[in-house]
Structure 1
Amino acid sequence: MPARQPDLSTPTEYTARRLVTIQVLRGIAALLVVFHHVQEQSPQFKAIWPTEAGQSGVDLFFVISGFVMVYVTRDRERTPTQFLAMRAIRIIPIYWFYTLCATFLMLALPQLFRSNELSVRHVILSLLFIPHYTEAAGTSPIVKQGWTLNYEVFFYVLFAIAMAISVRRRVLLAAAVLSLLVAAGFSLQAAEISLGTADFYLKSIILEFAFGMLIAQIYLAGVLRRITPAVGFGLVFIGFISLFLLDPLYSAGTRAAVYGVPAAVIVVGALAIENREKSLSVPILQFAGDASYSIYLVHGFPIAALRSIWKHGPFPLSGLGSFLLFLSVSFALSVAFGGLSYKAIEKTSLKFLRKRVARYL
């Protein structure tokens, strides 16, 4: 007798045991990205702490994403179509909402958008998660940090295809394809051959999904239970320190090694702690983790508005004191607006769509 399909209206992320530590890491990843974007508001801010390591929050997100996709599909009978449907209703509605918000704001307040393009082509391709180039924004979509979602969607589709071929071998198949794509990218770069925007999918950063998937495999096999909490905390500390120490070696070609490997070490350490029935439970970071997707999408709006206010207010866009104040207010506004977005838009749309999609799949 075939196994019964699980109720699709049940949130996949919460059906499996909820990993508090992973949520905390999501919150930290979101705040790292906020830190990175605050630095970019002023050359003087950048000079205070000239590091690019804040962008490693993206790499931490990617490792976690690879882990979560394997973790939430363990021992489940969902089809690849069902898997993709659940991922689609998770990421698309709120991303489209903020893409359209940014489009209307570009019409009404163009001064808030220093480097973006308002065109029908740019809007449509951004909504469809298709990498493309514009003169003003480069390869960034309307919501600039949405470039990472182009990778996420690609990974979801690849993972679903791997599931369709073999659920048991989905990790091996997906990891093999990711590795081959990166190898092809290095080969083409060495030969000085460019495939245009297709090069987007040949960057070393996509290996970070493979790191996360492999971590999930060893976690589910119980291997991480052998690591003591003290070692787990040590790995988390070493991982975060490494993000900043290795930062000078960062480039597009070294990203997986410079940021991805430390991010993987952080995730392993956090899971080792979780395995001992403890967690890195910090309420504000756990809340930021729950709202991390909304924070990631929305934080550019308050930071852009804050920069405009700062520019015409009593505080200069220079100096350590001004930077720390700008950063603190940016953190507070990003978490506040992200939390509001999470509660009012993200959770509401997810609850509404799950029940309706479940009727057809």
Structure 2
Amino acid sequence: MTAKPASGTLYGVQYLRAFAALAVVFFHAAERTGHAFAIGAAGVDVFFVISGFIMWVIVERRPVSPGRFLLDRIRRIVPVYWLATGVMVAGALAGLFPNLVLTTGHVAASLFFVPIRSPSSGEIWPVLVQGWTLNYEMFFYLVFAACLALPLRLRLWSMAGIFGLLVALGLVVESDAPLFLTYTRPIILEFVAGMLIARLWLDGRVPGRPLAFTLVGFGLAGFAAIGLLRLPFDEWTCGPLACALVYGTIALEKHGGIPRLALPVMLGDASYSIYLWHTFAISIVAKAGILLGLPPALAFVLSVCAGLAVGLAAYRLVERPLLRGGRDGWFIRRRARTTG
């Protein structure tokens, strides 16, 4: 029997959510203030592994129908995302985002998680650029819900087979179609990896403390090396590092080695709102820093603080009221229960 927090909260996963959200905030703040922190984008890889982990834990601990699962996901994801997208559209119509080109088709596709090319840049981005990750999340949820109709023993391997086949097609077939390019990227395998980690964790097959610390150290050191040395990276690089970080962390959690720390728990709770809303504040502060002639380092720090502040405010004033009385959410806002 292993120790666990009295509350049952997976504090380590909360800290990883906070870590991933901060990495993305740093990435965008650096980008807008003339610094280089490209590795911060790998926070998305950590998010995807966590998402696969948590979805598997949720449905195994509390069986749910495919329809109920999708309704829960929609309730969790859609209202806040639509609101943030609406703010972008309103801002563009008001002339606040002069580089944002709006079309009815692009706005509709953005709202309904359909990957198409942005008329502003030609990239496969929605109106709210960071919403590109939600296209993957919703696709994962859709396939996951379909696999819930299968016996439990077949679900993981069915998901692995479907996503593996899609990635294989992407490697051998050439196409410029946005849907094909999006859903054949190897990044989708990170969801499957998270599910596999969950399966191992639920079965008690986790490494001991020394190896768990080694895995966490390997993940952090790998990300740090990429950032400091400015090495090229993609999902083939960051996916394994994210898996090592998550697997090591939940192993430490299983051994009762992670205490509760208020600040990272709060940031973990608010990670979805931080992710969606931080760029609004960063853009304003970064532009103000240029107009006021602030040193780039100060502009960066202020941008990070503003992004976090707006994200936390959005969580308390928008997301939490919308979800009050709701069920489990994206990246485990609600506590996930452990077994000893």
TM range (shorter): 0.7 to 0.9
Q: Give the match for residue 82 of structure 1.
A: 68
User: Residues 250-294 of structure 1, C-alpha deviation per residue, up to 9 Å, x if partnerless?
Assistant: 46xxx3321110000000111111111121643222211100000
8 A contact 1:207–1:256 mirrored in 2 = no
In the TM superposition, what is the alpha-carbon distance from 1:337 to its structure 2 partner? Answer: 1.6
Which runs of 4 or more aligned residues in structure 1 lie more than 6 Å from their structure 2 counterparts after TM superposition?
none
Kindly provide the amino acid, as one letter, of the partner of residue 129 in structure 1: F
326, 333, 349: which one pairs with 2:299? 326
SS at match of 2:148: helix
- CA–CA separation in structure 1 for the residues paired with 2:195 and 2:103: 38
- CA–CA separation in structure 2 for the residues paired with 1:193 and 1:144: 22
User: For structure 1, which runs of at least 5 residues remain unmatched after alignment?
Assistant: 1-15, 317-321, 355-361
1:243-254 matches, within 5 Å, as 243-246=223-226, 250=232
Q: Give the match for residue 213 of structure 1.
A: 195
Kindly provide the amino acid, as one letter, of the partner of residue 174 in structure 1: M
- CA–CA separation in structure 2 for the residues paired with 1:81 and 1:26: 27
- CA–CA separation in structure 2 for the residues paired with 1:102 and 1:315: 27
- Asked whether 1:131 is paired with 2:131, we answer no
In the TM superposition, what is the alpha-carbon distance from 1:235 to its structure 2 partner? Answer: 1.7
Kindly provide the amino acid, as one letter, of the partner of residue 103 in structure 2: S
In the TM superposition, what is the alpha-carbon distance from 1:172 to its structure 2 partner? Answer: 1.4
8 A contact 1:270–1:280 mirrored in 2 = no
In the TM superposition, what is the alpha-carbon distance from 1:353 to its structure 2 partner? Answer: 5.6
Q: When the two structures are superposed, what TM-score results if normalisation uses the length of structure 2?
A: 0.88
- CA–CA separation in structure 1 for the residues paired with 2:286 and 2:73: 34
Kindly provide the amino acid, as one letter, of the partner of residue 339 in structure 1: L
- CA–CA separation in structure 1 for the residues paired with 2:288 and 2:85: 23
- Asked whether 1:20 is paired with 2:11, we answer yes
Summarize the Cα distance change of 1:105–1:351 in structure 2 as closer, same or farther, 3 Å threshold. Answer: same
In the TM superposition, what is the alpha-carbon distance from 1:196 to its structure 2 partner? Answer: 4.2
Summarize the Cα distance change of 1:145–1:232 in structure 2 as closer, same or farther, 3 Å threshold. Answer: same
- Asked whether 1:41 is paired with 2:29, we answer no
1:127-206 matches, within 5 Å, as 127-137=111-121, 138-188=123-173, 192-206=174-188
User: For structure 2, which runs of at least 5 residues remain unmatched after alignment?
Assistant: 1-6, 328-340
- CA–CA separation in structure 2 for the residues paired with 1:131 and 1:195: 9
8 A contact 1:33–1:56 mirrored in 2 = yes
In the TM superposition, what is the alpha-carbon distance from 1:161 to its structure 2 partner? Answer: 0.4
Measured on the aligned residues, the alpha-carbon RMSD in Å equals: 1.9
8 A contact 2:286–2:303 mirrored in 1 = no
253, 269, 273: which one pairs with 1:294? 273
Summarize the Cα distance change of 1:222–1:249 in structure 2 as closer, same or farther, 3 Å threshold. Answer: same
- Asked whether 1:121 is paired with 2:112, we answer no
- Asked whether 1:91 is paired with 2:68, we answer no
8 A contact 2:118–2:124 mirrored in 1 = yes
8 A contact 2:29–2:300 mirrored in 1 = yes
Q: Bigger shift: 242-251 or 278-287?
A: 242-251
User: Residues 183-215 of structure 1, C-alpha deviation per residue, up to 9 Å, x if partnerless?
Assistant: 110111xxx444444221100111110110110
- CA–CA separation in structure 2 for the residues paired with 1:246 and 1:304: 26
8 A contact 1:294–1:338 mirrored in 2 = yes
- CA–CA separation in structure 2 for the residues paired with 1:210 and 1:178: 8
